[in-house]
Amino acid sequence: MIGSISSSSSMMAMPSASSNRQSSQLSDTQKETISSVLSQYDADSLSASDASDIVASFKDAGITPTKELAQELDALGFDAQEIGDLAGAKPQGGMPPPPPPPPSDEEENSLSELLQSLLETEDEENEDLENTQSFEELMDYTSKILSLNDSSKTEILSLLEKYSGEENPYSKEQTSNLIKNSLKETLNDSNNYKHVSFYA
């Protein structure tokens, strides 16, 4: 089963990339809100106060900082990074620092292979039926783990390493269930993720 995931490594980023794209799609209403908010400001003479007000307006409208938002701002003549810098210059409305560079394909592939081996159970009878679902689940786990903040990610990776060792006393079924429960608890807590900024 590890072989099948390895042979698909070139397509690995696609499911998570497409799901991220779907979740960050701006609705027409949000685009109108963005346009309306920005129409009140001059892109060439933005102040720190203006930038903080823009960030606050977007937050109130439920518009999260994404690459698509940055592209939308750019199309309207505004620089997302400049807005982030200016808003961050105000002590009371500070923006988070730029996120670290995205994980490499090698890191993503390595993590997904480790998850694949740990979440695999003894029962292979329905492998063909479950292959697509388990691949999507695997990529979802991989994407979310890579989005965790450093301490949470380290905690999860230590857990995975622990269960992947030869001294693991549990069966494959038990290991799979234990890891899924731990992942569910950590991945469902929004406080465990990196803060998103306009640099994203």
**Spacing of C-alpha 98 from chain mean position:** 14
Burial of 83 (0-12, 13-18, 19+ CB in 10 A): buried
Low-confidence ranges of the chain (pLDDT < 70): 1-24, 89-104, 121-133, 194-200
Structure confidence at residue 102 (pLDDT): 60
How far, in Å, are 64, 90, 151, 188, 199 from residue 100 at the CA level? Answer: 18, 22, 14, 22, 10
pLDDT digits (tens, 9 = 90+) for 74-125: 999 998 888 888 887 444 444 455 555 566 678 888 888 888 888 876 554 4
Structure tokens at 196: 């998103």
Which backbone phi and psi does 86 adopt, to 5 degrees?
Answer: -65, -45
Structure confidence at residue 92 (pLDDT): 41
Structure confidence at residue 48 (pLDDT): 87
